[in-house]
Structure 1
Amino acid sequence: MARKIGSRYTAHQILGRGSAGTVWLGTGPEGDVAVKLLREDLAADQDLVERFVQERSALLCLDHPRVVGVRDLVVDGSELALVMDLVRGTDLRTRLEHERRLAPQAAVAIAADVADALAAAHAAGIVHRDVKPENVLLDALAPTGPGGAPPALLTDFGVAKLIDSPSRTRATSIIGTPDYLAPEIVEGLPPRASVDIYALATVLYELLAGFTPFGGGHPGAVLRRHVTESVAPLPGIPDELWQLIHQCLAKAPASRLRAAELAARLHELLPAVAGLPPLDIDEQPDAAAAGEDPGPAAPAAPSSHESAGPAVPLVHSGAGPDANRDTHTSMRVPGADELAGGAHGTARTPRTAGERRAGSARHHREAERRRRIKIVAAGVGVGVVVAVGGWLATSDGETGSLPRPSAEYPAGR
C-alpha cells in the first residue's frame, strides 16, 4: 500500500480522509511525517498549485510550539501534498465525542494554546480561516497541563485560503464550516484575523457547553443566526470568563480581542477556573426541536485520549453524523432579506439540566396541555354555577341534588 510522494517521502498508511484530501502516515529523510495529499481535482487546478507555491515560504516559516509545522510542499505531476509534523494522540473533536464537554480549566487551557498559535500566525500575516475542533490536535506524548489537558496544536494553516480562490468559487459563495463562521464572512466581507478569534470563541463555548452557540439545523439557518442572534450566556462559569467569550463573539470584528490579548487573558484565567467541574447544563436536542421526542441519552464512551495512541488524522474523517462540520463546505451567501428574516427560537440555548427550552416543540406541547387544563377547570366551574342557579330557581326547599356537569364541560378528560 506504500506509495512514493515526490523523491523524498513515502506514504505508508492512511490516517484519515477529509473534504480536502487524505492524510497518510509517511517517512522522509528526517523520520516520520504526516502527508496531506490533496484531492486530484485540487491538484489538477493550476491556479491552486501556483497559489500553494507562492504561499510555501510563509507556511514553512510558521514555526511555533502550538502550530503543526509544514515541513515541505510536494508538487509531482498530478500530486500536490503538504508534508507536516506528525502528532500522536487525538484531535479535539474526537475528545468531545467521548466526553461531550470539558471541565472549565481544561477547556480554557486548550483555548489558550490555540490562541498562542493564532497570535504567531497573525503576526506572520497568516489567517487560519477554519479554526474548529477537527483542526486542533492533542499531543498525547507530551506532559499534560492545567486541568489535565494535553498540549493543543493548531493545524491546516493556509488550506482554506488556498482552496478558496477566485477560480474555484463564485462571488456568491463562501467556504468554511457553518458553526464557526464569523458574521462578516456570512455577509460577504473578506476574512481578517478577527474571524479566527470568533471561531476560537465558538470552540471554547462548545468545549464548555457541549454544543456551539448558533449551531443546529440547516446550514442556512446556522449562517443566519451568526448575523442576527445574540449568544446565550453560559451559567456556572466565572463572569470574567463569560465576558471574554461574549466579547470575542461580538458581531463587529473591531470589538473582538486580538489573538495575543486573548491568549494572555485566558492564561490569567486558569487559576480562577481550577477545580470547577464540567457545566451541568443541557440543551434541547434537534429531534425535539423538530417535534420528535429525544431518545435516551447514549452512555458515554470510555475515555482513552490521555494514553499515547495512533497518529492524529490531520483532517476529519467526514463520515460523522453532522455533515455541516466538514471542512470547506461551499455555501451560497444568504441575501439581505434572508438574513433579516432571522431564525429565532431554533438556536440551542443552555439551560439547567432537565428544563424545557422555550420555543421547542415539547415546550409548546406542554404549554398547550396546561392551557387546555385551565379551560377545562374554568368550564367545570361555569357548569357548576349554572347548575346551582337552576337548582335554586326550582327548589321548593326540599333536599335535592346537583345535576352532573354539562356535556360541554366534562368533569374529567
Structure 2
Amino acid sequence: MARKIGSRYTAHQILGRGSAGTVWLGEGPDGPVAIKLLREDLASDQELVGRFVQERTALLGLEHPHVVSVRDLVVDGDDVALVMDLVRGTDLRTRLERERRLAPEAAVAIVADVADGLAAAHAAGVVHRDVKPENVLLDMQGPLGPGGAHPALLTDFGVAKLIDAPKRTRATKIIGTPDYLAPEIVEGLPARAAVDIYALATVLYELLAGFTPFGGGHPGAVLRRHVTETVVPLPGIPDELWQLIVQCLAKAPASRLRASELATRLRELLPALAGLPALEVDEPDDDPVEEPPEEPPAQAAPAAGAPARRRGAVSLVPGTKPDSNRDTHTSMRVPAPDELAGGARGTARAPRTPGTPRPGSARHRTAARRRRITLSVAGLALVAAVGAGAWWATSADDTPPDAPHSAPAVP
C-alpha cells in the first residue's frame, strides 16, 4: 500500500529493513527514489529530529560518483525520512555470502571505489562511522571495472551520527558494528575520519579471506581483540597489499592512511593483482565457552526449475536480522580497562587449514567421538595384552623347574 512521505514523495513498497528503520521504493518529482523511514521511537525523539535538521546541509551537499546521494530530508508529523538515490543491483554483503570471498583484483577495485567516496566525505567534514559490506552497494547497471567488479557506492552516511545522540547513548555505550569498530571507539574516544579507514581495511580483509580479522564469538571478545591483538597474515597475496592492510589496521589512528591515499595506493596495485585467484583459507577457530548445540539438518535445495529470487533494487540498509551483531547501530557496553587488558595479547585467531572441521561443529564432534572410541578400543586392547602377559608370566613362574616345556608339533 502506497503512503505519502511529506508533500513530494510517495512510498510504494518495502525494499528492506534495518536497525534504524525501513527502506521503501518511492517516487518523487524527479523519478524513482529510495526512502529511508526512521523507526517510530527515533522519529519521536525531538533531540534527534533537531540533529537531523542540523545535518541536512552537510548530507545534501555530499555529491560523489561513489556515494549514494541524499536528495532530501523530510520531517512531517511522525515521519522522519532520508530520500536517497535509488541504486539497482546488490549489496556487497549479498555478493560476499554468495561467493564467500573475492579474487584480489575485484576486492581491491571495490574498496578503492569506497575509499574515493570516503575521501569526498571526509573533505566535507562527514565521517561515516559504519563502513561495512551491508552499506556498500554495487551498481549492476554501471560499467565493469578491474576484475569484473561493478561500481561500488557507499550509503547510510550520517545515520550513525544521528542515532548516537547524547540523550540516547551515554559515555558507557558504543554505537557501531563490532567486527568493524576501530580500537579508539572501543576505548571511548571520539570517532574521527580514521575510524572509517580502519573499518574499510577490515572490509578488504574480509573480501579476501571470507571472514573479518577480529570477529567471531561474543561481541565483548570482538571488542577486546580490536584493542589487544594484531592481525594474522593472509597467505597468497602480494606483500605490498598486505602491508597496506596492516597500516590501515594500525591501533594508532595517526598511523593509518587517509582515504585519498588509500584509494591511490590500491589502484596502483591493481595491475599486479590481475588474474590472481581467490585465496584458499578457512575461517579461524573460536574458543567456545560451551559446546554449541547440534547443527540443524541442512535445508532441502530448491526444486529444479524454481525461479530465482530477483532483486529489482537494493535497500539502503540491507539485511533482515535486527538482532545480528553485524547490524548497524548495535549498542554495546564499553569494556573497562581491566577487561581490555585481561585479553590475550599477541596475534589474533589464525585461519584454519582448508577442510579442517571447526571446533564445536557436527563434523568436529563426530571426529572427536571417533578419536575417543579409537583410543578406548586401543586402551582395552592394551589392558588385555598386559593382562595376558601377566597371566603368562605368572603361569611360567608356577611351572616346576623340572617340568617339560611344550614344543610346537612337527607335521
Identity over aligned pairs, percent: 73
**How far apart, CA to CA, are the structure 2 residues paired with 1:262 and 1:315?**
25
**How far apart, CA to CA, are the structure 2 residues paired with 1:59 and 1:106?**
29
Contact 2:228/2:346 (CA < 8 Å) preserved in 1? no
Contact 2:101/2:210 (CA < 8 Å) preserved in 1? yes
**How far apart, CA to CA, are the structure 1 residues paired with 2:374 and 2:254?**
47
Contact 2:288/2:360 (CA < 8 Å) preserved in 1? no
**How far apart, CA to CA, are the structure 2 residues paired with 1:387 and 1:230?**
59
Deviations 1:163-217 (A, max 9, x none): 1011111111110011111111011011111110110011111111111111112
Matches within 5 A, 1:52-71: 52-71=52-71
Change in CA separation of 1:58 and 1:268 when aligned onto 2, cut-off 3 Å: same
* 2:168 aligned with 1:175: no
Change in CA separation of 1:359 and 1:97 when aligned onto 2, cut-off 3 Å: closer
Contact 1:174/1:333 (CA < 8 Å) preserved in 2? yes
* 2:76 aligned with 1:76: yes
Change in CA separation of 1:295 and 1:36 when aligned onto 2, cut-off 3 Å: closer
In the alignment, which residue of structure 1 is the partner of 2:312?
A: 310
In the alignment, which residue of structure 2 is the partner of 1:329?
A: 330
Letter in 1 for 2:219: P
Letter in 1 for 2:314: V
Contact 1:21/1:38 (CA < 8 Å) preserved in 2? yes
| Residue 77 of structure 1: how far off its partner (Å) | 1.6
In the alignment, which residue of structure 2 is the partner of 1:339?
A: 340
Change in CA separation of 1:308 and 1:144 when aligned onto 2, cut-off 3 Å: farther
Deviations 1:85-122 (A, max 9, x none): 11000111111121111111111111111111111111
In the alignment, which residue of structure 1 is the partner of 2:127?
A: 127
| Residue 240 of structure 1: how far off its partner (Å) | 1.3
Contact 1:164/1:175 (CA < 8 Å) preserved in 2? yes
In the alignment, which residue of structure 2 is the partner of 1:354?
A: 355
Matches within 5 A, 1:185-196: 185-196=185-196
* 2:86 aligned with 1:90: no
Letter in 2 for 1:186: V
In the alignment, which residue of structure 2 is the partner of 1:409?
A: none
**How far apart, CA to CA, are the structure 1 residues paired with 2:280 and 2:266?**
22
| Residue 37 of structure 1: how far off its partner (Å) | 0.9
Contact 2:230/2:348 (CA < 8 Å) preserved in 1? no
Structure 1: runs of 5+ lacking an equivalent: 402-413
Deviations 1:65-87 (A, max 9, x none): 00000111111122111111110
Q: SS state of the match for residue 23, structure 1?
A: strand
Letter in 1 for 2:117: A
What is the RMSD of the two structures over their aligned residues, measured on CA atoms? Answer: 3.5
Q: SS state of the match for residue 325, structure 1?
A: coil
**How far apart, CA to CA, are the structure 2 residues paired with 1:331 and 1:267?**
36
Matches within 5 A, 1:9-158: 9-158=9-158
**How far apart, CA to CA, are the structure 1 residues paired with 2:300 and 2:288?**
19
Q: TM-score normalised to the size of structure 1?
A: 0.84
Change in CA separation of 1:184 and 1:345 when aligned onto 2, cut-off 3 Å: closer
* 2:321 aligned with 1:319: yes
Q: TM-score normalised to the size of structure 2?
A: 0.85
